[in-house]
Amino acid sequence: MMNEKTEQNTENLINKINEDIKKELSEKRYNHSVGVMKKAEELALIYGLDVNKAKLVGLAHDIGKELTREEKLNYVEKNNIEIDEIEKINVGLLHAKIGADICKKRYGFDEEMQDAIKYHTTGNENMSLLAKIIFVADKIEENRKYEKNESKKQAVEEARKLAKEDLDKAMLYLIDESLIYTIQKKELIHADSIAVRNKLIK
């Protein structure tokens, strides 16, 4: 159980992250981050997860997203972050690993929280409940409206419904949606997305 002191610490940390991302992210991505925090809180309550962790990770998950390509490459080099073949080409993916590292150093996020940030874009075979909640919340938070794309709009509504009933089903649905999209765009698929999909099906 959370005592009063931990509650106070969490609130202070949420305020700090909120201030930082307000400065470091665009208004659109800031609103998305707050949306993910809210959706992660909602899912944490449904699935019996520590609400504070879910909120903190949800709010901070895209903290590395708006670094330029060059800044991302510099960051991984300076901070000894290993990068794989796909990330070398699709540098944008690195915002997940970078975000986890920033949150460890700035806010003292534990391993589980760091992993949830690392895996929020591609998914991963070894996802905790927290990681799954962040992955799903990222894709279905309230600002994802897709008003100009009827099929995406329907898909996000379906995923929102699934998320309340069965988190793994929602994950599988969202992974499939993103794989289809990636294939249509003729982009590279990260092996972790295939691995997590196979695990969810097995």
Tell the smallest beta-carbon distance from residue 127 to Fe ion (Å): 15
| SS3 letters across 2-22 | CCHHHHHHHHHHHHHHHHHHH
Stretch that binds Fe ion, among 73-81, 100-108, 123-131, 133-141 (CB under 5 A): 133-141
Select 62 or 192, whichever has its Cβ closest to Fe ion. 62
Minimum distance of Fe ion from residue 62's CB (angstroms):
4
The tokens for 179 are 């794989």
- State in angstroms the smallest separation of the CB of 61 from Fe ion: 6
Identify each DSSP E strand in 34-117 by its residue range. Answer: none
Number of residues forming the site for Fe ion (CB under 5 A): 2
Task: Write the interaction track for Fe ion spanning residues 8-47; mark x where CB under 5 A is met and - where it is not.
Answer: ----------------------------------------
Site string for Fe ion, 93-132 (x = CB under 5 A): ----------------------------------------
Give the residue with the Cβ less far from Fe ion, 9 or 22.
Answer: 22
Minimum distance between the CB of residue 2 and Fe ion, rounded to whole angstroms?
Answer: 26
Query: From the centroid of its chain, how far is CA 58?
Result: 7
> Residue 192: phi, psi to the nearest 5?
-60, -30
Q: How many CB atoms lie within 10 A of CB 152?
A: 15
Q: Pick out residues in 41-70 that bind Fe ion (CB under 5 A).
A: 62
Q: Please provide residue 104's backbone torsions phi and psi, each rounded to the nearest 5 degrees.
A: -65, -50
Q: Would you say 9 or 149 has its CB closer to Fe ion?
A: 149
Does 138 engage in binding with Fe ion (CB under 5 A)?
yes
Backbone angles phi, psi at 85, to 5 degrees: -60, -40
Q: Is 80 left (phi over 0), alpha (psi -120 to 50) or beta?
A: left
Residue count (the chain): 202
Q: Which residues bind Fe ion (CB under 5 A)?
A: 62, 138
